[in-house]
Amino acid sequence: MKPRTPPGRIAYVDGRYSRHFEAGVHIEDRGLQFGDSVYEVCRVEYGALCDLSEHLDRLERSMREIAIPMPMSRGALTHVMGEVVRRNKVGYGLIYLQITRGCLRRDFQIPARCRPTVIMTAHELDRAIIAQRRSVGVKVVTLPDERWGRCDIKTTQLLAGSRAKTEARSRGAFEAWLVDGEGFVTEGASTNAWIVEGAGRIVTRNLSHAILPGVTRRVVLEAAAAQKMDVIERKFTPQDAAAAQEAFITSATGPAIPVVEIDGYRIGTGKPGAITGKIAEIYANISINRQT
């Protein structure tokens, strides 16, 4: 059964704009057969793409790491992204971009040459839902990190993250924080994880192969440093999080969403904290100036 989509929604696949429910890729596309593909999710505000340069930087890095060539120039890619937003009449929402290695005879060996497939979709976000999460906060649970060893590459190999998110929702939580073999939080199933210590210091895990270098994460770090806020990148445990003054998550979908409970333990007062609110406000102010 095909998923229901709003009438008039448009997708871009391999050089063509088509109705969303008619779009598709070849059965031997390596993105389908092997998860041999990378992706980006970019927020749209007032019809403009936010943090686009950072997203394209990360896209190019991911593609270099697994040797997929860029299918078109940055300028052309930006034009298509803007056109997908325009054709879908997205004012506040997300654009999803996926690049696969393309359609090739099924073989485990990665081919020396390829013709990448480009896929784009876009949709609106519900402002009311995002606002509610910011006003009351969300709950998280911790789960073992079962993902592959190169989480710094934004590939479409998302089954482990999807399983973790599903388990979190079944336990009444919004997100899962993944914990490595040494007992440290890596990141959320689809977000970066942050805590605020009692002295007001903001902590998030340092970059490595274990976590995705989130674009929103990077912007928040830069913005907090510019405001002379105390920020450090280091590992922390679920116990550190449970004892924290505040906690929050960041992603393109919702920058600085407060976390008020972890594994059933209340964080701080159990309500969104002042520092998380300040981060969200700073991000909102600078985000307007970072649009295309």
List Cα–Cα distances, 110 to 14, 30, 36, 149, in angstroms. 20, 9, 9, 19
Q: What is d(CA 150, CA 43) in angstroms, rounded to the nearest whole number? A: 24
DSSP 8-state class, residue 174 = S
Catalytic residue list contains 154: yes
Distance in Å from the first CA to the final CA of the chain: 37
What type of residue sits at position 6? P
Give SS3 for 247: strand
- Would you state the structure tokens that stand for residue 142, as one six-digit string? 């911790």
Annotated catalytic residue: which of 154, 235, 271, 278?
A: 154
Q: What stretch of H or E contains 269?
A: none
- Tell me, rounded to whole angstroms, the distance of Cα 65 from its chain centroid: 18
Q: What is d(CA 101, CA 29) in angstroms, rounded to the nearest whole number? A: 8
Q: Which residues of 24-35 are buried (b: 16+ CB within 10 A; e: fewer)?
A: ebeeebbbbbbe
- Would you state the structure tokens that stand for residue 248, as one six-digit string? 């929050």
Q: Which ranges of the chain would DSSP assign to H, the alpha helix?
A: 30-34, 52-65, 74-87, 127-136, 159-170, 215-226, 238-242, 274-287
Residues annotated as part of the active site: 154
